[in-house]
Amino acid sequence: MDKPQNSVKDVKVALTKSRSLVIVLPELVTLDTAVAAKLLMELLSKSLNKPVKLLLPKDHTLPNRVAEFLGYTQFDKESIVNQVLPLKYTMSLPNVGEGTEVEWKLEKEKLDITLKPKGGKVDFSKLTFGAEGERYDCLISLGAQTKEMLNSAYLESAIAVEETTIVNLDCHQLNKSFGSINIVDPKASTISELVFDLYKEIGVKVNKESADLAKRTIVVATDGLRRIASSATLIRLVELEKLADNNVSEVVKTHYHALGKKGLALREVMLKNVKLEQDLQVLWSHVSTAELKALEVEPSVLDGIEQLPYNICKDVKIAALLYQTNENWKVVAITDDRQTSVFSWAKSLGGKAITNIGVAELKGDFETVSKTMLKSLGQGVFGKAVAEPIKDETKPTSEPVKSSTSSPFTKASDEDIKELVNESQSSSPTPANPVAQMQKAPFEKSDKFR
């Protein structure tokens, strides 16, 4: 954080003074930023009666898991703009003598025009004046640490919004405080919490549906309150609990622990394939197309990046997942270390990222792709070289995996979960890799509590 921070009251003043606003998301839209945008849109448009738009690229769609969570695949088209154009003014006044001088000055809401005709009269009844483009008083950035992390629609509109008041809301410590007003709160775990703070400052009560959505988002984004979640986050959850019908324990059970049989089987496959690169402090796993088919799981199940289905162990800075989508592999990396960024790494592979989450696609066989992933992480994040090729010592399972018709991340009964765990304990051999032999499995609660 390079600049002194503002207060939530400063944001309130800026929003109430603004006549028209636009919200801009990072190029990599996560569940948290999507939910924060939804909650903020409701606050501005319904409670404050402000004209507000979302600045998003053309044909924008939400990642499958995020769309499933929100209940729609894209934001309302009427609320989206794809580019903010600079205002262009045109003025036409016929039959003005040659040499007539025109002076005009535009200052915020006031336009002054002075004509100095060479001779004769000027018929102002024939004056026409027009303006093209959009003008917003305030731009709100959600979850981006630099302007470069904002989406392509913003980058294409940068000149038009250059003089606009920018409100920068984020919870990442590496945020550059690029806004006119900056609320960067590393004690928060999600951007949705900061929007909730704004509701309270303005004096608007969050409705039950939005409170439930905010709670579920916090639970999922913190990996069941085990990753990143701070005391400040827990305090906000207690406040949200008073506003919704279901309590936090029910949210955790429904949206984290009760993954369903497929979800538990998926975690078991990931645990079987997990590897630890101690020099790089990287924990990573892979899931092949064959394994996903055997589990009857679509690759899109893993598209919700912050739902990467294992948390980061103590002393491991980055957790990564490789999963196969047809001929390509998608690599997802996530970090809990507030001083570590995966943005440059993902961009070097042609992918998308914010500070703590990055995703990219790679082509090639498993050895080539895994080596590329680790080499790029070593150089792009840690400044280290990785020379040894990575060999895949695991084989995709050929045996059918017991499954149910439920989604891997939908609710299952406690009896179903216990049944599957008992089956896996009695039938699964002990994994041969060193990480699986640790006393604490990488999916269990870490001693590191941020």
- Kindly report, residue by residue over 372-398, the tens digit of the pLDDT: 898 888 887 877 655 444 444 444 443
Q: 10 Å Cβ neighbour count for 205?
A: 11
Do 369 and 244 fall into the same domain?
no
Domain extent at residue 206: 8-84+136-255
Do 194 and 330 fall into the same domain?
no
Do 325 and 246 fall into the same domain?
no
| Reported confidence tier of residue 94, pLDDT bands at 50, 70, 90 | low
Number of structural domains (the chain) is 3
Do 98 and 70 fall into the same domain?
no
Query: Does residue 448 belong to any structural domain of this protein?
Result: no
Q: What is the model's pLDDT at position 390?
A: 44
Q: What is the model's pLDDT at position 168?
A: 94
Cα→Cα distances 291→49, 130, 269, 296, Å: 50, 61, 8, 8
Using the 3D structure, point to which of 194, 226, 255 is the last residue of a domain.
255
* C-beta of residue 396 within 8 angstroms of C-beta of residue 270: no
348 CB burial (10 A radius; 0-12, 13-18, 19+): middle
Do 67 and 102 fall into the same domain?
no
Query: Does residue 110 belong to any structural domain of this protein?
Result: yes
Do 242 and 266 fall into the same domain?
no
Do 92 and 79 fall into the same domain?
no
State how beta strands 101-107 and 88-92 pair.
unpaired
Q: What is the model's pLDDT at position 413?
A: 43
Do 21 and 111 fall into the same domain?
no
Query: Does residue 20 belong to any structural domain of this protein?
Result: yes
**Residue 445, pLDDT above cutoff 60:** no
Query: Does residue 430 belong to any structural domain of this protein?
Result: no
**Residue 234, pLDDT above cutoff 70:** yes
Average pLDDT, the chain: 76
Query: Does residue 223 belong to any structural domain of this protein?
Result: yes
**Residue 321, pLDDT above cutoff 70:** yes
Do 250 and 298 fall into the same domain?
no
Do 371 and 385 fall into the same domain?
yes
Q: What is the model's pLDDT at position 109?
A: 54
**Residue 10, pLDDT above cutoff 60:** yes
